[in-house]
Amino acid sequence: MERLARLIEPVPLPTFVSAVCEWLQDAHDAASDLQRVRRSGPRGDWHNPHSFGTDRYQFLVRTAGSLTAVLPELQVETAFQTVALKLPKVGIYQMQVHGGPNGSLADASDLRRELLNSRDHQALFSRPDALFGDRERLTLLWTGTEKDGLTGAWIGQGELLENHIDWFWRESLHDITGAAGIPRQTGPLDPAIFDLPEPTLDLRPRDTDEGRQPG
């Protein structure tokens, strides 16, 4: 945890983890509530297999700026139809995965692959450079469903190797919240709306803790 705490300075680790986990859980709750509305419309059921993921995505994109109410040092970047979080030392790319942090990324988008490749394998000026500049990069993976809400969240550093992330190290945010006994925030977050087009990516999640150290 010390490595993560250093990278996100000056934000206290408990504050960062609590704010991010609450935001992700709120996205699941809001999207789940909308599905009940979709299924019980006065003109019939207008829910579809993708509506939960679409609504969850839109919540994350359009409310990401609300995190600055708790994390004033945070900058939010919504270029390339994604949500990137930037602190003074580090850029954080969040994405949904299936199967936890060791699951397959075979269907990952080109942008995700660029973000997970080392800089040695990137163009002279890449989209990750445009998002994060010379900041160090962290990957935030999360899993969740309409029924169960946010089921896991992991953050760390690694690179893409044969459609999986080869982790240098990672931490489970749920383990951190459990160890620290972090309560859920009760105050409302300030809304921030971003006018972005509908998503072209079908978001999904991945799973656990310390990996190998870089050589």
Residue indicated by tokens 């602190």 = 87
Q: Using CA atoms, how far apart are residues 60 and 37, in angstroms rounded to an integer?
A: 19
Q: Using CA atoms, how far apart are residues 192 and 100, in angstroms rounded to an integer?
A: 29
Domain range for 135 is: 2-180
Say if residue 54's pLDDT is above 70.
yes
Which residues, at least 6 apart from 136, have a Cβ–Cβ distance to it below 8 Å?
7, 89, 90, 91, 157
Query: Do the domain assignments include residue 14?
Result: yes
Say if residue 125's pLDDT is above 80.
no
Say if residue 123's pLDDT is above 80.
no
**Which pLDDT value is given to residue 124?**
63
Least confident of 35-49, 109-123, 196-210: 196-210
Query: Do the domain assignments include residue 201?
Result: no
**Which pLDDT value is given to residue 153?**
97
| Mean pLDDT value of segment 105-124 | 73
**Which pLDDT value is given to residue 187?**
41
User: What domain count does the chain have?
Assistant: 1
Query: Do the domain assignments include residue 204?
Result: no
Q: Using CA atoms, how far apart are residues 31 and 50, in angstroms rounded to an integer?
A: 11
Query: Do the domain assignments include residue 56?
Result: yes
Query: What are 11-28's pLDDT values in tens digits?
Result: 999 999 999 999 999 999
Strand order in the sheet with 90-96: 75-77, 84-86, 90-96, 136-145, 149-161, 164-172
**Which pLDDT value is given to residue 46?**
92
Query: Do the domain assignments include residue 202?
Result: no
Confidence class of residue 116 from pLDDT cuts 50, 70 and 90? confident
Query: Do the domain assignments include residue 185?
Result: no
Q: Please report the beta strands in the chain, taking only residues with DSSP state E, as ranges in sequence order.
A: 75-77, 84-86, 90-96, 136-145, 149-161, 164-172
- pTM for the complete prediction? 0.79
Least confident of 34-48, 72-86, 121-135, 168-182: 121-135
Q: Using CA atoms, how far apart are residues 200 and 39, in angstroms rounded to an integer?
A: 24
Query: Do the domain assignments include residue 215?
Result: no
Query: Do the domain assignments include residue 75?
Result: yes
Angle, helices 13-39/51-63, rounded to nearest 10 degrees: 140
Residue indicated by tokens 């945070």 = 74
| Mean pLDDT value of segment 85-113 | 88
Distance, CA of 69 to chain centre: 18
Beta-bridge mates of residue 142: 96, 153
